[in-house]
Amino acid sequence: MADGPLILLHKGDYEETVLQLLGLSMGNPYRTEQVYAQYRLGDPFHLYGWVQAERLAGMMGIHVHSSVVHEIAHLSVMPDEQHVGIGRQMIQAYHRDYPHIQLFAETDKEAVGFYRRSGFVISSLGEKYPGVERFHCSRSVEY
């Protein structure tokens, strides 16, 4: 089981692993470099990491749309650490740190079950790309 904690990653922290994790969540090496460059610039994009046994086990990229609306733009866990709750724990830790925000993500059919099990409300966005259904996943503000 993951022992955390969720930490804000700064420019250069775990860079090789972050690039690997971004690649897992995106599948396009060229876009991976572009997206990582955005995160290195900071606001409104932030990278968080789940560190376990002094190793980056998971990564979550957040796009802050406003003070009350944050998007999970990227979420990935190292292959040898998957299916043990790290992704869910990253989301829970983030929501504990920011309890009054609306957290959302857009995802595909393969990941929608993960978001549903993590407490998100799911709605279909239809086929945003030919033959590819996308889903909006949102987690409500907690008071």
What is residue 104's predicted lDDT score, i.e. its pLDDT?
A: 98
Instruction: Please choose, from the candidates 50, 63, 44, 125, the residue with its C-alpha nearest in 3D space to the C-alpha of residue 91.
Output: 50
Sign of CA dihedral 142, 77, 73, 108: negative
In tens, the pLDDT along 32-47 reads 999 999 999 988 999 9
The residue type of 121 is V
Contact assessment for residue 90 and residue 60, using Cβ atoms and an 8 Å cutoff:
yes
Q: Please give the Cα distance from 130 to 117 (Å, whole number).
A: 27
pLDDT tens profile 79-95? 999 999 999 999 999 99
pLDDT at 14: 94
In this structure, the strands spanning 69-77 and 45-52 are unpaired
Largest interatomic CA distance in the chain: 42
CATH T-level assignment (fold) for domain 6-139: Aminopeptidase (3.40.630)
Q: Hey, what are 118's tokens?
A: 């993590």
pTM: 0.90
Q: Tell me how far apart the alpha carbons of residues 115 and 131 are, in angstroms, rounded to a whole number.
A: 21
State the residue for tokens 């089981």.
Answer: 1
Torsion angle, alpha carbons of 106, 71, 87, 38, to 10: 100
Q: Which of 7-21, 25-39, 61-75, 96-110 has the lowest mean pLDDT?
A: 25-39
Domains of the chain by residue range: 6-139
Segment holding 38, helix H or strand E? helix 29-41
- pLDDT tens digits, one per residue of 41-74: 988 999 999 998 889 999 999 999 999 999 999 9
